[in-house]
Amino acid sequence: MYNVGIPINGDNFRRTKNKQLILDELKAFDCDRVFINFETILDGHMVLHNEEDYQRQIDCLKEACNFFKQHGYEVGAWFWGLQFDRQLPFTPMKMLNGRCVDGFACPSDTEFIKKFQQCLIDVANTGVDIILLNDDVRFGAWGGFGCLCENHIKMMCEELGEQIDETRLKELILSGGKNKYRDAFLKANRLALENYAIKMREAIDTVNPEVRLGFCVCMSSWDIDGDAFELSKLMAGKTKPILRLIGAPYWTAGQGEKSRLQNIVELERMEASWNPYPDIELIAEGDVHPRLNCAANYLECFDTALRASGAVDGILRICVDGVSNVGYENGYLKQYLKNKPIYSEIEKHFVGKEHTGIRI
Ligand SMILES: [Zn+2]
């Protein structure tokens, strides 16, 4: 059964006096699973530096989790996995261009690991079924890629059995064809993320081994970061692994030829085709950020195509307004209701059939 997960902004949830409005909208969208996040005000991360704000988030998660569970929904929490408050003194990722990525911890930082372990323990204790880390769990992007922080240099030198400084390492990694220095760089990236996944799983297991932990992949997740599927297995522990793929309808908004919707659909299908494990739950990136720029039809086309393809098990469908009051802007709901008969036909004619080729 295709699973529809919908994010609800925790701060919006709290300020909405008539919570029936939220329930009505979720029901109208045929939601199966609610993901609580804090996207609008807090940029989607947990506030680790301020105990008062942090506790407010945890309390909000607990309150929202109880509420949605009482109304029959599976509940997840969805937030950043390496992005932290800029006030905290963790080791930032350092890209090969020499620039540090402020506010993003390198997963090799043991102090960050400890702090974030406690965060996941607190979140798991709120009663959520799933913790889904967002697509910052990676070494790629931000105008470069990494990491050449002091921890990573140490890991690479140990692997190579040589003492090499940052400047020389950078030259060796980026020059020529395949070489042992680049291999050591890739291995250090993979090991740092694997260790992070293991440590986060261990933390959650101390309070509830049934809580699922997964993450949202990015472009680098299958190359400079290691292997997304293996990482999702490590995060999952004894639970069913969950992975959100990358490729969203908002990419096509205003991009014209550069990012056609059908190519984004095919990107997600390609990622799904790489999955060697039948037990990993794959969900599509039904992201329309910012919704003012992304036509509701893009989300509808994306969702109908992927449902018909059978490539994914569900979607993270950003369709309930997380900024304005729920119900204020209802364009996404209108388009969904208009297309609802098509979803039923897709269910009837496509489910259980094998997909072959592309763009069909
Ligand atoms: Zn690093």
Q: What is the pLDDT of residues 145-179, one digit of tens each?
A: 989 999 999 999 999 999 999 999 999 999 999 99
Give me the mean pLDDT over the 276-293 stretch: 91
Q: pTM to 2 decimals?
A: 0.96
For residues 154-176, b (16+ Cβ closer than 10 Å) or e, as one string?
Answer: ebbbebbeeebeeeebbebbeee
**What pLDDT score does 358 carry?**
72
Mean residue pLDDT of the chain comes to 93
Ligand 1 mean position to 94 CA, how many Å? 6
| Residue 97 CA, ligand 1 centroid: distance in Å | 13
CA of 281 to the centre of ligand 1 (A): 29
Residue ranges of domains in the chain: 3-138+194-350
Cα–ligand 1 centroid distance for 137 (angstroms): 13
Is the model's pLDDT at 42 over the cut of 50?
Answer: no
SS3 155: helix
Instruction: For residues 84-93, give the mean pLDDT.
Output: 86
Res. 113: pLDDT tops 90? yes
Domain 3-138+194-350, second-level architecture: Alpha-Beta Barrel (3.20)
Position 43 pLDDT exceeds 70: no
Tell how far the Cα of 217 is from the centroid of ligand 1, in angstroms.
Answer: 19
Q: Which of 332, 262, 323 is nearest to 41 (CA)?
A: 323
pLDDT at 279: 96
- pLDDT band per the 50, 70, 90 thresholds, residue 346: very high
Q: How far apart are CA 112 and CA 118, in angstroms?
A: 10
Neighbouring residues of the ion ligand 1, judged by CB less than 5 Å: 106, 108, 147, 149, 152
Looking at residue 10, what is its pLDDT?
A: 94
Percent of the chain scored above 70 by pLDDT?
A: 98
